[in-house]
Structure 1
Amino acid sequence: MFYGTAVWDPWLIVAQIVCLQCSYYLTLGVFVMVFLGVRVPRLSLVYFFDYATLSLSTVTGWCVIASFFLSSLAGAVYMVFLVERARKCLDFSATLYIIHLFLCIMYGGWPSSITWWVVNGTGLGVMALLAEYLCIRREQQDIPLDRYRPSV
């Protein structure tokens, strides 16, 4: 299919959102395990969804913040392969973080920490901009024509 033709495929969009969300949380889990595996006695979902864990006053809080930031970088790379279009990157990034906000509200209530909002807003911006940049670079690659020429 050519890039110019837009086909409305809601199942594809839902599948892309689910794959991106799962990849993001899987990566976040790996980074939390790497950074906090030695520091805390027991890992739990509190480091994913509780706004109080994102704290600037403790080393554990800084490790969680670093995990979120690195997960947003990885999410941008995932988006290059899942979404493949630069103009859709902001939509998918915002959807990921809106779903994350709803999960945080269901887990621990409305995030009242300014640190939580800054970390997630920065993560959204980094993910969207880096994914757009990487997708634009991929879209502008030359199309190899050598494989279509008959061998002489």
Structure 2
Amino acid sequence: MSSFRTFIWDPFLLLGQMACLQSVFYTAQSILMVLYSVTGYEPYLSHIFSFQMLRSSAVIQLLSVLLCSYALSMIVQRAKHCLDFACTLHFFHLLICCLYNQAFPTSLSWWTIQAGIIYTFLI
């Protein structure tokens, strides 16, 4: 039997990959915020989950996505699943942000940054 298109559905593997990818995303943001604090920036947890996008938090989020996209290729290891994982990552980020702020984001800058981040994953 050929090994082409062999795939065994493993929900624990998928959940583990999503949890690992989500933790890489938030860890990269936290580390970059701490590194950026050398310039006088004061990192707060609200900068990660806030709907108001400051220039510094937008740059930090974009840089963390570059690190996360490398981790995505190492964790998932299948090109056809990368877009699914990237969209799921940002869907969970949207849910966490909504729970943290107890509101739905209406800021155009927040949505623009999120769209740019998903586009960055596609590159």
Q: 5 Å matches for 1:1-152?
A: 2=3, 4-41=5-42, 43-52=43-52, 54=53, 61-108=54-101, 109-127=103-121, 129-130=122-123
Q: Distance in 2 between matches of 1:8 and 1:25?
A: 27
Report SS of the residue matched to 2:8: coil
Q: Distance in 1 between matches of 2:4 and 2:45?
A: 40
Q: Distance in 1 between matches of 2:75 and 2:29?
A: 18
Q: Distance in 2 between matches of 1:113 and 1:3?
A: 45
Kept in 2: contact 1:36–1:63 (CA 8 A): no
The corresponding residue for 1:148 is none
Number of residue equivalences: 120
Q: Distance in 1 between matches of 2:6 and 2:80?
A: 14
| Residues 1-22 of structure 1: CA deviation (Å, up to 9, x unaligned) | x562011100000000000000
| Residues 24-58 of structure 1: CA deviation (Å, up to 9, x unaligned) | 100011112222454344x3210010111x0xxxx
Long gaps (5+) in structure 1: 55-60, 131-152
Q: Distance in 2 between matches of 1:111 and 1:39?
A: 28
User: Percent same amino acid at aligned positions?
Assistant: 28
C-alpha change, 1:25 and 1:3, in structure 2 (3 Å) is farther
TM-score by length of 2: 0.90
- Between structure 1 and structure 2, the one with the greater Rg is 1
C-alpha change, 1:65 and 1:6, in structure 2 (3 Å) is same
Long gaps (5+) in structure 2: none
CA RMSD of aligned residues (A): 1.4
Stretch of structure 1 that moved more, 27-36 or 84-93: 27-36
TM-score by length of 1: 0.74
